[in-house]
Structure 1
């Protein structure tokens, strides 16, 4: 009789311990997953450069030349006073001329090794 009670007690205790252990291990995993999918830069430009020397067309041409070097596909769309380039995965570049200056803005989306060149192109084409 005594043996069966202790086995039952150990099983219940082990079950409670396992539930607590699973909960303790799942919490950091959940937090890491939220951090992976949260984009704190969403809607805000990461790179913003203003210049009075470069024209919109020359900056856009430079960026599209860089895209061709990297075999990247893009969609070019006219926007008021400028041009928007969409590179997929929500990576967007906007180049505008407004109030006497040319503005370059890069809105980063999901980053991959294949699209890291976009940030470098901004530094090269719109210094």
Structure 2
């Protein structure tokens, strides 16, 4: 899988860990830690498109990182490795979120906090 998909061994190992975590149905938080330049964005893109059928929320501490993640997850990373994206929509958080459409939401921690304050009904649905 690693060579065929253009993923490095350590990326494949991170994806295997994510897959195991998702299969466990754990309600505990999980953290995959990888060094700078090791392909975290690619792991995030692959995992959010293909390792779950659920909606996905990707949080970023800064707008610049959110913008990069948005481009990469929406199409750029998968195009680089010549893989078609899933049918999931890629979107930022808004007050009129439609949870019936499978979506990968990418936004900042601050935006989630604003959603909690100004659209608490939508915030509750993020779980």
TM-score band w.r.t. shorter chain: under 0.3
TM-score scaled by length of structure 1: 0.28
- Which has the larger strand fraction? 1
